[in-house]
A and B are shown apart, each in its own frame.
Chain A
Amino acid sequence: MTAVAKTLRRDRWADWAVIVLVALALLLGVWLRQATLYRAEDFTLGDAGISGRVFTGWVRQTGTDPLLTVRNPLSGSFNTVLELRSRALADEADATLVLDALALERAVTVDAYKTLSTSRVVVHSQTATQRTFTYVLVDHNPYVDRLPEVVRGVDVALRDEGRVIVVTYLAGSETFDADYRYFRTFVENLQY
């Protein structure tokens, strides 16, 4: 092999080496992104007998209703929220009743509340009731300059013995699709 051919061959290797290095760096970047965005830690609500995983870095608040609220402080002007509720319900009653009650509660506290659809979904191999809705978040504080914001939400009613566990997902209309994965992961990891 002549010196020139050897040099050209080395140049080609160098070209490919740069591309491989950048591809490796980006793959590591993808892994780091997933690990950072979806890193989760365990939580247990002892009295309610519910446990699961919440995302690290989200602000967590426990109470009576909702039992748990977790909020992503880095998700735009409207922080994406996951809520957990437990409502007593006879086994023979339809879980839609609980979702209707929630809809009535929200309708008087938020603006332009509207139910979009109700459907059946399968969660943990059981049929659950899911309702999607939307409303407009208006900050009525006269000292705050904030534009009204369209919020989209999903309630999933999961049947348990003598009660319904409702998981609610709320997100700004622009981040709803991107953050939906948080909701799915949260529901899939829920134990009750």
Chain B
Amino acid sequence: MDKDLCCVCQQPVDADAKQLGGRTYCVRHFAKVTQDRPGVWRAGLGMIAGQLGFVLLIEILVGLFKPAFSGWALVAVGVGLALVSALIWLVFFYQQDRLEPEPKGYVLSVFILGALLAQAIGIPLLDNVFEVQRWLPRSPLGGLLGAILVIGFVQEFLKYAAVRYSIFPLPEFDERVDGVIYGTAAGLGYATMLNINYIIADGGVHLQAGVIRIVVTALAQASFAGLTGYFLGRAKFEDEPSWWLPSGVALAAVLNGVFTTLRGELTTTALDLSGGGFNPWPGLLLATVAAAATFGALFYLIRRANQITLSGVDAEGGAE
């Protein structure tokens, strides 16, 4: 009897039901699982381009008008920048995904959940319990390992949990690519809260350097969460072994840790009489490359998985 229900909508299916990864699908949901949704990828590309454009716009505006904010005005401007950075993806996403949009409420809920988990667990755990700033800079190898084991695993697990224990079991999570969409939303929520904390803790932000930091955090957190989301999407719709999901979280944690360490190394410069100490531009380059490579790889992998599934259907009239 179990085999007669679609694993997504739980509705009875006909005898010619499709099988994929040990799960049964009705015709409609089988078609959904295997669709490419190019709009999602254009939104990803648009997000990267939009973030870079956002940085350039702020740099130009600050260069032209030289605004002199201070106190709460500076904090408010910084928080505004952090929110705009997150909104860029959402705007691109809904622009590109108009034909068959994900429910706005769910995407927004996962975004907020990512932010709440960051504020309630992630940031206090890393700052107050593990006190990463006290010991990560002490040695290059220890710093890298610590960034992976502590920062990487805490952040990636929380973003994974924001998707896995909210939208993942629901019928709305009905495509392979949904993992990437909701993962990215959780990552951006997490990044937004990190950025708001950074701005408030510093009592505002130097606009030109701050906007780069905000964008770097958004791009990086969204990319790594998108990667975890890819593993979630395949775990739900394919016959993946039990180690598949842990591998996804581990891979995202390793990339997160390596990125955190590299960003620290690349953006720290030697102090001299003319100033220095921090140059944010290499961090932006690194985040752009990481985001483009991650979303490019995910696009290729999901498209290939869909093609393999569909070619199996064409050849055999079913898929397994």
Say yes or no: A74 contacts B134, CB within 8 Å: yes
Shortest distance between the CB of A32 and any CB in chain B (Å): 5
Say yes or no: A22 contacts B157, CB within 8 Å: yes
Q: Is A57 an interface residue (CB 8 A)?
A: yes
A-facing residues in B135-177 (Cβ within 8 Å) = 135, 137-139, 142, 145-146, 148-150, 152-154, 157, 160, 164
- Our pick among A14, A28, A29 for the contact of B242 (Cβ within 8 Å) is A14
Stretch touching chain B among A2-10, A95-103, A160-168: A2-10
Question: CA separation between A75 and B131, bound complex, in Å?
Answer: 11
Shortest distance between the CB of A1 and any CB in chain B (Å): 10
Q: Given the complex, which residues of A lie within 8 Å of B242, measured CB to CB?
A: 10, 13-14, 17
Say yes or no: B130 contacts A36, CB within 8 Å: no
- Our pick among B138, B148, B164, B241 for the contact of A36 (Cβ within 8 Å) is B138
Question: CA separation between A2 and B23, bound complex, in Å?
Answer: 11
Q: Given the complex, which residues of B lie within 8 Å of A20, measured CB to CB?
A: 246
Say yes or no: B138 contacts A74, CB within 8 Å: yes
Question: Given that A3-B22, A14-B235, A74-B134 are known contacts, is A29 also in contact with B2, CB under 8 Å in the complex?
Answer: no
Q: Given the complex, which residues of A lie within 8 Å of B286, measured CB to CB?
A: none
Question: CA separation between A37 and B130, bound complex, in Å?
Answer: 11
Interface string of A19-40 (1 = CB under 8 A from B): 0111001101110110111000
Q: Given the complex, which residues of A lie within 8 Å of B300, measured CB to CB?
A: none
Query: Which of A21, A35, A178 has the most chain B CB atoms inside 10 A of its CB?
Result: A21
Shortest distance between the CB of B170 and any CB in chain A (Å): 15
Q: Is A105 an interface residue (CB 8 A)?
A: no
- Our pick among B23, B138, B149, B160 for the contact of A29 (Cβ within 8 Å) is B149
Question: CA separation between A62 and B243, bound complex, in Å?
Answer: 54
Q: Given the complex, which residues of A lie within 8 Å of B138, measured CB to CB?
A: 36-37, 57, 74
Question: CA separation between A29 and B160, bound complex, in Å?
Answer: 19
| B side interface size, CB within 8 A | 38
Q: Which residue of B lies closest to A17 (CB)?
A: B246
Q: Which residue of B lies closest to A33 (CB)?
A: B135
Q: Given the complex, which residues of A lie within 8 Å of B3, measured CB to CB?
A: 2-4
Q: Which residue of B lies closest to A28 (CB)?
A: B149
Q: Is B207 an interface residue (CB 8 A)?
A: no
Q: Is B180 an interface residue (CB 8 A)?
A: no
Q: Given the complex, which residues of B lie within 8 Å of A7, measured CB to CB?
A: 21-23, 239
- Our pick among A5, A11, A29, A57 for the contact of B150 (Cβ within 8 Å) is A29
Say yes or no: B145 contacts A74, CB within 8 Å: no
Say yes or no: A32 contacts B145, CB within 8 Å: yes
Q: Which residue of A lies closest to B147 (CB)?
A: A29
Q: Is B108 an interface residue (CB 8 A)?
A: no
Question: CA separation between A192 and B102, bound complex, in Å?
Answer: 72
Say yes or no: A21 contacts B149, CB within 8 Å: no
Q: Which residue of B lies closest to A12 (CB)?
A: B242
Question: CA separation between A2 and B152, bound complex, in Å?
Answer: 37
Q: Is A93 an interface residue (CB 8 A)?
A: no
Q: Is B225 an interface residue (CB 8 A)?
A: no
Q: Which residue of A lies closest to B243 (CB)?
A: A17
Q: Is B69 an interface residue (CB 8 A)?
A: no
Question: Given that A4-B7, A7-B22 are known contacts, is A37 also in contact with B134, CB under 8 Å in the complex?
Answer: yes
- Our pick among A18, A32, A33 for the contact of B249 (Cβ within 8 Å) is A18
Q: Is A15 an interface residue (CB 8 A)?
A: yes
Shortest distance between the CB of B271 and any CB in chain A (Å): 14
Q: Is B13 an interface residue (CB 8 A)?
A: no
Say yes or no: A26 contacts B154, CB within 8 Å: yes
Q: Given the complex, which residues of A lie within 8 Å of B160, measured CB to CB?
A: 18
Question: Given that A22-B157, A32-B149, A57-B138 are known contacts, is A4 also in contact with B249, CB under 8 Å in the complex?
Answer: no
Cβ-closest 10 pairs across A and B: A29-B150, A29-B149, A4-B2, A25-B153, A13-B242, A14-B245, A21-B246, A7-B22, A36-B135, A22-B157
| Contacts A14-B242, A17-B246, A36-B146 supplied; 12 other A-B pairs, CB < 8 Å | A4-B2, A4-B7, A7-B22, A14-B246, A21-B249, A22-B153, A25-B149, A26-B150, A32-B146, A36-B135, A57-B138, A74-B137
